[in-house]
């Protein structure tokens, strides 16, 4: 028997989450490379369990990870269930535990209590701090698609996960050229050179539009009238420091405004970094659109923070393909592999900071 650690892909416990961090084709590649993988059964995952079995994975019951061998890396995407309280494994997923989020301290304490560790996928970065595996492209694609469908009166509610062919068919059918008094819709993507931005531009092109593309150079001296002269705005900017906003509430009352649908893919609504302080809460699959201005010139906002989950197959494939080489390095080098060492350092720093805060509080 091999003494190298194994991967254990758990079931996602969040309702409606159909994505997987490792798709069956990549599971087969890992198995071919000598990696042992156990995959939990899941009624909601978009990839049938049989495909993982065919790939050579061992199959386990949903939730079986808590009994996995201690050296197994437990791989997932979204939050862990509340039990077991003590976490003894190394967990690879999006923990959202380092920015003071709700429940962050309690989660880190669960790891400390069990001797496990969080290898947070958001902090799996290269030497320049660039994310190595991310869902951005499909987030931007879906966000821009929803904006088009909303602006053309084609958005159906509630939103449900779908295949790209269905979404693209809806985009092809959307009357983007007849809207706004017979003129083609004018769409602007800010952050167009980034992952989400590229996805957004591609979705707009699929809908027959030629988006205006702005990134850092174009917003350095913001031309707000030009911004307001677009029907659709898709914001995909990533900023980690507060900057002057792209829009303020008074801009929505401007006479010359053409803007009628905004999709804030970035969704920094409650943070100091929010570049669109014209709304105060995200929207969701049940109620994807919020009206910011009524009357004959309405403005509507879409701000959904789990956009890639709406295209689970494509989003999973892209993410898994990014993650695959990193998993191979993890198995061969452990967390000595530079990217995983960075991840582990981020966790250790957060745990130390948490225990210092607790000491001060005593
Ligand atoms: N809503 C969702 O479901 C969802 C999913 C994935 C990512 N996101 C969020 O989307 C955002 C973008 O993610 P990404 O992976 O595309 O990031 P990225 O780093 O690939 O791209 C960000 C882009 O923003 C540009 N930018 C930064 N500051 C700017 C400014 N002031 N003006 C114009 N452009 C500017 C950068 O140059 C870059 O091209 C992040 O905040 C991320 O958390 C949201």
Q: Two tokens at 19?
A: 């994505």
Q: In whole angstroms, what is the distance from residue 13 CA to residue 83 CA?
A: 11
Q: How many helical (H) and strand (E) elements, i.e. helices and strands, does the chain have?
A: 11, 12
State in Å, rounded, how far the first CA of the chain is from the last one: 48
Residue entry with tokens 């309702």: 15
In DSSP terms, which residues pair with 97 in a beta bridge?
Answer: none
Distance of CA 212 from the midpoint of ligand 1 (Å): 16
Best residue among 136, 137, 201, 271 to mutate for probing ligand 1's pocket (most ligand atoms within 8 Å of CB) is 136
d(C-alpha 342, C-alpha 138), whole Å: 26
What is the 239 CA–ligand 1 centroid distance (Å)? 7
Residue with the smallest CA separation from ligand 1 atom 30 is 216
- Two structure tokens written together for 255: 């006479």
Three-state SS for 257? coil
- Cα 301 to ligand 1 centroid, rounded to whole Å: 18
For residue 270, the model assigns a pLDDT of: 79
Mutate to test the pocket of ligand 1, among 16, 132, 194, 285 (most ligand atoms within 8 A of CB): 194
Which among 338, 336, 326 has a CA at the least distance from the CA of 33?
326
CA distances 267 to 184, 271, 303, 304, Å, are 27, 9, 6, 7
- Ligand 1 centroid from CA 38, angstroms: 34
The one catalytic residue in 89, 91, 96, 172 is: 96
Q: Are 159 and 310 in contact (CB under 8 A)?
A: yes
CB contact at 8 A, 326 and 132: yes
Cβ-proximal residues to 339 (8 Å cutoff; 6+ apart), any chain: 124, 125, 126, 132, 326, 329
Sheet of 37-40: strand order equals 58-60, 37-40, 7-9, 73-75, 90-93, 117-120
* CA 342/CA 349 separation, integer angstroms: 10
As a whole number of angstroms, the distance between CA 311 and CA 136 comes to 12
pLDDT in the model for residue 271 = 80
Ligand 1 binding residues, C-beta < 6 A: 134-136, 139, 190-191, 193-197, 214-216, 219, 236-239, 243, 265-267, 304-308
Nearest C-alpha neighbor of 328 from the set 90, 7, 3? 7
Which tokens in the block code for residue 238? 């990533």
Q: Measure 195 CA to ligand 1 centroid, in angstroms.
A: 7
Q: Answer whether 78's CB lies under 8 Å from 15's CB.
A: no
Torsion angle, alpha carbons of 63, 68, 70, 71, to 10: -110
Beta strands across the sheet bearing 232-235: 212-214, 187-190, 232-235, 261-264, 299-302, 289-293
Neighbours of 128 (CB within 10 A): 5
Q: Is 96 a catalytic residue?
A: yes
Residue listed under structure tokens 């978009």? 46
pLDDT of the chain along its 362 residues, tens only?
456 789 999 999 998 899 999 999 999 999 999 999 999 999 999 999 999 999 999 999 999 999 999 999 999 999 999 999 999 999 999 998 887 777 889 999 999 999 999 999 999 999 999 999 999 999 999 999 999 999 999 999 999 999 999 999 999 999 987 655 568 899 999 999 999 999 999 999 999 999 999 999 999 999 999 999 999 999 999 988 889 999 999 999 999 999 999 999 999 887 888 999 999 999 999 999 999 999 999 999 999 999 999 999 999 999 999 999 999 999 999 878 999 999 999 999 999 987 666 655 54
CA-closest residue to ligand 1 atom 20: 194
CB-based contacts of 115, cutoff 8 Å, min separation 6: 88
Ligand 1 atom nearest to CA at 243: 31
pLDDT at 9: 98
Closest CA to 306 of 13, 18, 11: 18
Domain annotation for the chain: domains and CATH numbers: 7-123+312-361 (3.40.50.720), 136-310 (3.40.50.720)
**SS3 call for 81:** coil
pLDDT at 98: 85
Query: Which H/E stretch holds residue 291?
Result: strand 289-293
Query: Which of 16, 196, 270, 314 should be mutated for ligand 1, with most atoms under 8 A from CB?
Result: 196
DSSP character at residue 283: B
């Amino acid at each position: 028997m091999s003494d190298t650690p194994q991967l254990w892909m758990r079931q996602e416990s969040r309702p409606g989450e159909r994505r997987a961090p490792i798709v069956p084709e990549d599971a087969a590649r890992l198995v071919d490379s000598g990696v042992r993988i156990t995959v939990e059964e899941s009624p909601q995952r978009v990839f049938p369990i049989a495909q993982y079995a065919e790939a050579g994975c061992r199959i386990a019951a949903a939730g079986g990870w808590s009994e996995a061998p201690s050296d197994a890396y437990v791989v997932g995407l979204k939050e862990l269930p509340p039990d077991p309280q003590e976490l003894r494994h190394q967990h690879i997923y999006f923990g959202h535990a380092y920015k003071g989020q709700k429940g962050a301290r309690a989660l880190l304490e669960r790891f400390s209590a069990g001797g496990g560790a969080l290898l947070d996928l958001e902090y799996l970065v290269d030497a320049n701090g660039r994310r190595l595996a991310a869902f951005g492209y499909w987030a931007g694609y879906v966000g821009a698609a929803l904006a088009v469908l909303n602006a053309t009166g084609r958005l159906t509610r509630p939103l449900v996960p779908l295949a790209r062919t269905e979404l693209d068919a809806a985009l092809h059918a959307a009357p983007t050229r007849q809207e706004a008094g017979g003129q083609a819709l004018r769409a602007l993507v800010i952050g167009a050179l980034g992952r989400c931005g590229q996805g957004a531009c591609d979705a707009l092109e699929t809908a027959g539009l030629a988006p205006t593309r702005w990134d850092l150079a174009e917003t350095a001296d913001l031309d707000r009238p030009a911004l307001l002269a677009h029907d659709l705005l898709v914001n995909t900017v990533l900023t980690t420091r507060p900057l002057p906003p792209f829009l303020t509430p008074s801009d929505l009352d401007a006479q010359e405004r053409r803007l009628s649908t905004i999709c804030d893919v970035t969704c920094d609504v409650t943070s100091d970094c929010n570049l669109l302080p014209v709304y105060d809460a995200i929207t969701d699959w049940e109620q994807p659109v919020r009206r910011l201005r009524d009357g004959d010139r309405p403005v509507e906002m879409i701000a959904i923070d789990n956009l890639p989950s709406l295209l689970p197959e494509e989003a999973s494939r892209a993410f898994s393909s990014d993650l695959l080489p990193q998993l191979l390095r993890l198995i061969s080098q452990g967390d000595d592999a530079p990217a995983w060492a960075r991840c582990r350092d981020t966790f250790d720093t957060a745990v130390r900071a948490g225990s210092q805060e607790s000491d001060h509080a005593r």
